[in-house]
Every structure is written in C-alpha cells, then in structure tokens.
Chain A
Amino acid sequence: MSTLHDIALVDGSVDVSATFAEAAAALSASRLAALAVVDEGRVVGLFTDEELLLGISPRYLDELRHTAFLETELPSLRERARDVREEPVRKHMRRPITIELEGSSMHAAERFVHCDEGALPVVDDHDRFVGMLSRTEFAHALLKRLSEGA
C-alpha cells in the first residue's frame, strides 16, 4: 500500500494565538470537520466541529441525554456565544492525533476508523504540519486508486 503523497491535502490550520471566533470562521471557510492548531509549524491541538458546537452551547449540554422537549432557544445560548468569542482557541482544542505523510494509506485508514475526527493533520518526518486530510477525501482517493489499479 502506497503513502499519502498523491492524496490532496488542504491547508486547514489556525495559529495557537487565534481566538475562538477566528478559529470558528476558519473552520467554516475550510469546509473541513477539523483544523490543526499550529504553533511555529508544529501541531499542538485540534479544533473540531465538536469543539465549535460545545463552545457555543451551554456547558451542561454534554451532560444531558434527553432534550426533545425543548422548543425554544435556551436563554444561556446567546450569552455563551457572546462570551466565548474572544476566548483563546487553545482553551477549546483537543489533543491532536496526526498522520505521517510517509506512512501507509492503511495506517491512515486505521487512524480514521478509530477516531471521531472527520479530518486529521498530516505531518512530515520532522513532525511539521503539512496539511489536513479529510476522512471523506481520503476514502474517495483510496477508492479511486484501488479502482484504477483493478
């Protein structure tokens, strides 16, 4: 199985000094499910659509399992969205899982199968950020490669 060199990567990253609002805008513009949070070229965290959703939701949402009865917007939703805007993205990032550019596609596939993130950062031999790989793009590229080879 070959490496990831022929699969298109996207430059989906934000600097670690960015605010939550800047990271949210960058995530939306990238059309990816996650962005790499980068400090001097190294991936220090991941900002995913889940962090975005949890960031703008009341913090207890994560503890709730039943909300079908809710018909209106929660009062705290607006306050929370307002408060969170200027918070640093580093407060809202998760520990990164990375894929090596020189690693096999099968290893990348295993990573994607076992993690929740819809996109993962790809790093080079020196652990420097190269680009984001979306799970969907990766799966399509793999399918295409296998069909062409068949």
Chain B
Amino acid sequence: MAAVAVVVFLGALGAIAFEWAHRTKIALLGAAVVVLVGILEEEQAIEAVDWSTLGLLVGMMIIVGLTERTGVFTYLALRVAQLSRGHTVRLIFLLSGVTGLLSAFLDNLTAILLVVPITLLLADLLRISPIPLVLVEVLASNIGGTATLIGDPPNIMIGTARPELSFLDFIVNLAPVAIFTLLVVTSGLALFYRRQLRIEPERAMEVERLDAAADMREAPYVKRSLAVLLGTIVGFFLHAPLHLEPAVVALVGATVMLLVAADDVEDALERVEWATIFFFIGLFVMVGGLEEQGVIDRVAEGFADLTGGSRSLEALVILWGSAAGSAVVDNIPFTAAMIPVVDSLQADGFDDAAWWALALGACFGGNATIIAAAANVAASGVLERSGKPISFLGFLRVGLPVTAVSLLIATLYLLIFQL
C-alpha cells in the first residue's frame, strides 16, 4: 500500500508539473484514490486536512477580496509609477518594494493578482514592455512573501503545522534576510532591465497628471475595509500573546469585514478562490496517505543517514533540496510533503532552524521556474490572456539566477545566524 501512496503522490506531482489538467482536479483525484483504495480510512482522510491552513486562506481571501473593491491597490500602484518620475531604476525598486510589502502582509498570490493588471495598464501608458515589470513583481512577491507567516503558502502551512512558530517569530527570523535578498535581487534586475525600459519624459508626465485616488472616491466602505485589514494584520502580530491561532485571527477579521463592509454575503464569498482551497484539501489527503503508510518516516530516515545527523548539513540540505523540489513541481505540494519529514527529523527536540531552512528553500525556490509557485502561474496566466505571454525558458532565464543568488544569501544567513 505504501508503494501505491507514493505512485499516487508522484503521479499527481507529475500531472501538475506537466499541466495535464487543472491542479485542483488532479489533487482531488489523488485524494479520491487514496480513500477509495484504502490507503486512508475516511475518518483519517478528514483528519489529514489541515483546517487551520484553509481557515487562514479563506479568511484572508475574504478580507483582501473586499478591500480590493476600494481601489486602494490601484492607488498604490499608480502612486509608485508617479513617484518614479520616469526613472526606470526607481520604478523597478518601487514596484518591487510595494509588491514585496503587499506579499508579506496579504500573501504573494493575492498581491500578484492585484498588481499585475494595473502594471499592464501602466506599461501601456508609459509605452514600455510590461514583461520585465511583471517579472520583477513576481520575483519580488516570492521573496517578500517569505518574510511573514501569511506571505507565502509554504509559510502558511509551516506556521499552522508548528504552533510553536508565531507570526512574530517568522518576522524576526525571516524578514531581515527576505528584505536583504529583495534589495540584492532588485538591484540586479534594475541593472539588467534599465536599458530595455526607456521611458519618454512626456509619457511619465502623462502618468504624473493622473488622479490616482479617483477610484477610491467612488468605492464603497473604503475606510471600514482598510481598518479591518489593518486590524487583522495587527491581530497577526498579537496572536501568540492572545493565544489565538492565525487562522482564528483571519476568520474573525473576515467576519468583521462581512459585517461592516459587505452588502451581499454571497457576492463577498465569491471572492474566495475555492479551486485553491480544494487543491489544498486534495494535497493534504495525499500527504496524509504517505504519512499513514510510513513513507514519510522512511524518507526522513534516509535524509538523516545522508546528513549523518549534522544539524548544519541537515538545514542546508533542506534549504537547497526544498528549492530544487519546488522548482520542479510546485512549492505548495512540495512543502506539504516536507513538513512531516522535517517533523519526523525532530523527534529528539524542536529546532526552529530546520523550519526556517524549509521556508527559505520553498519560498525562494518558488522563483526558479514558471510553475514553481502559485504567484508565477497566476502572473503568466494574466500575461497570456493579455496577449503578452512569457515562455517557460523566458522565465527560467531570469528566475534561475535570482533563485541561485537568493539561496546563497539564505545559506550564509543560516550559517551565520541560525546554525
């Protein structure tokens, strides 16, 4: 039965990587097989689902979905373009910074879906190619998302799987290295793209004349929505002393948002990306099957043999291995499978360095290929629908060096500060 569980999981990963069908369909099919062939009992399958991760995702999707109506994210993107005053390097740094910040406090997939459409419009107004700008945003979103517990799906899964790691722990241990990496990567990208993106002064003037706040004046519940969003972020900072799970903070925030800033609850709930939620459910059941059949323990044993019990080597193998795994498949299923492996390695005692290595590897590894992270897939989808598709190799050419640089920084960081 263990072999069947492995075949189902690897088959699903392959099918997702080659896009044979929508990833949600594949994950649900894998979960169905896990239950139907008896790898997991029905009750075990339900227990395998990490409801806290789902609660956190649903809560944030409602909060951000309703805040999006206010036009505040369009305002931010427009102000960035206006403040750059036609300087390419400044535009790249500002776009990268705003996307990184939004990713850290909303989540990177949401941030990308908010900023990419308006970037296409800005590029049109400035008469420059949108592809370099979107690439900068995608890369910045994966790095910025690394900084917090809610910033990137791998971190959400790690944070909910290990309650010992609070929102503040993530910030203290990951935000400095994420910010430093973002600065280094953005500098490289600015150098690389500065000649490609020449903005004519009169185009920049046109953008500067735009009334960036026009949409916010038309939108309903602007102040209330922003207050709830900010309140929820403050709630995340305080969740540990308040003894509340991050999922509870997000769901309470979403409930308050529904009460004070949503006229139609059905419309508000449509903002939840149910395909993503069901993708996670299918994934958790498949990984539950691997755990139940002892596959995870065997992988962990092999891993421990490989590293000879060395704490430093273990963390570095987790870092680079997670990045490689995420690049080939997708950092969400890879992290889902790695969490019980890291857990199993820590039978002798909790060691947070291994978790930071997993977070850095999976999140930074998300930049390597176009399929490595949900944000990349979403951005390439928007680009394709807009008639400006980016190829797998086109992404790889920029993504792979960025990932290599990011992982080198992460390696130094782990060696100097964590190991």
Contact = CB atoms under 8 A, between A and B. Distances in A.
A59 B118 contact: no
Interface stretch (A14-22, A41-49, A66-74, A105-113): A66-74
A67 B120 CA distance: 12
A57 to B, nearest CB: 11
Most buried by A among B117, B121, B213: B121
Contact of B385 (A59, A69, A75): A59
Chain A interface size, under 10 / 10 to 19 / 20 to 34 / 35 or more: 10 to 19
Contacts, number: 61
Given A75-B125, A76-B124, A60 B211 contact: no
A72 B206 contact: yes
A69 B214 contact: yes
A150 interface: no
Contacts of A71: 209-211
A66 B210 contact: no
Interface of chain B: mostly helix, strand, loop or mixed: helix
A60 B117 contact: yes
Interface in A58-86: 58-60, 62-72, 74-76
A74 B124 CA distance: 7
B124 A63 contact: no
A29 B117 CA distance: 34
Interface in B361-393: 382, 385-387
A58 B117 contact: no
Contacts of A72: 206
Contacts of A67: 121, 215
B181 interface: no
Most buried by B among A59, A62, A69, A71: A69
Contact of A60 (B69, B210, B214, B386): B386
B74 A66 contact: yes
A138 B160 CA distance: 56
B125 A59 contact: no
B212 interface: yes
Nearest to B114: A65
Contacts of B213: 69
A75 B78 contact: no
Given A63-B117, A65-B68, A75 B386 contact: no
Given A64-B121, A71-B209, 18 more contacts: A58-B121, A58-B386, A59-B385, A60-B117, A60-B121, A60-B385, A64-B118, A65-B68, A69-B74, A69-B78, A69-B211, A69-B214, A69-B215, A71-B210, A72-B206, A74-B124, A75-B127, A76-B124
10 contacts: A59-B386, A59-B387, A63-B120, A63-B385, A65-B68, A66-B71, A67-B215, A69-B74, A69-B211, A69-B212
Interface of B: 68-69, 71, 74, 78, 116-118, 120-121, 124-125, 127, 206, 209-215, 217-219, 382, 385-387
